[in-house]
Structure 1
Amino acid sequence: MSLVLDSAAQDLLFREARTANTFTDEPVTDEQVRAIYDLIKYGPTSMNQSPLRVTLVRSPEARERLVRHMAEGNQSKTATAPLVAILSADNEFHEELPQLFPHFPQAKDAFFGERPVRESAAALNAALQAAYFIIGVRAAGLAAGPMTGYDAEGVRKEFLDDDHTPLMVVNIGRPGPDAWFPRNPRLEYDQVVTTV
């Protein structure tokens, strides 16, 4: 066997894991979200950058405000999911670098002095962290429904600020009835991997 992770864990995280479209009404607790974050924060990023920010949408009022910005096909499932998270990239993440990178405190200005450089780094590394977040949700025995079908500028204005770029909205909970669409095919190894 080439993988150290046992088959059950492989299935939980990848083979049997699916994007959920319906959820039960079982709550997702703050403790569960904290456990997810405390696991995924160790996922590798460039220079230990940590630009991902998570906004949990819990109150009915906030949920209603979010649903207005979702694409029509995403509104119902976002309205009824036990928990919704807005994942965004903090374009001012470099302000935390001195504490995350203590052996090289000048990294903040040396690499990230220009806003376009920060935005590019934030987008890439927050996207990596968003993927880890989805895997963390699965590791907690929950299902994730990540979506990019929404009015990004509307979500930013409603929930974030000019220094944050929304990446995706993720519904989180236990899968409900008929939660899965049929699985689409994936590219095979030889279609993806080239050796030079």
Structure 2
Amino acid sequence: MKHIYPFKSKVSNEQRKEQMLQESQLVWFTGLSGSGKSTLALRLEHYLFHRGHKVFLLDGDNVRNGLNRDLGFSADDRKENIRRVAEVAKLMVDAGLIVVCAFISPYAEERELVKQIVGESRFMEVFVNCPLAECEKRDTKGLYAKARQGIIKDFTGISAPYETPLLPDLEVKTGEEAIGESLLKLIEFVEPRVTMQEKMDAAF
């Protein structure tokens, strides 16, 4: 079998960082369906973009409708879904972008896989903590009701487990906090980590 050598770009990560004027990072949101992951991810992307950052959001809808439309919702397919997302996010981070991802990603093993693929120093895990009862109240699509009725199988929080992150980089409690309060915590945590030190120094 012919050995395939890894592709090596002539443009270094440091050169991309200098051109982009930012630290490329993956911000990974995890939490139950209805916890507020997508809302916070959208608002973070909007904020960073208007602050001049090069940022892109990946979530279940824009990935499942294209790249991963061949995958179902079995345990193996869900794991493959997260692996593919991580590989795409890695390429985007390698390109110098800030990538925001909002996926339930219920298993610690999956989230650790994402971290290993992208690189620990370029990965931020944000746990969107919201009680199951509150998530069910917010369920505009009726997914929890269908899961309770057995119509949807292996639904996270009902018929499939969610493994709570033990040491997330940031935890926001959307069951207790207004969305604006959670967003402010998020911005205060993320923005210094994606802003180049030179730009921070110039601001003072």
TM-score when normalising by structure 2: 0.27
Bigger RCO of structures 1 and 2 (CA < 8 A, at least 6 apart) = 1
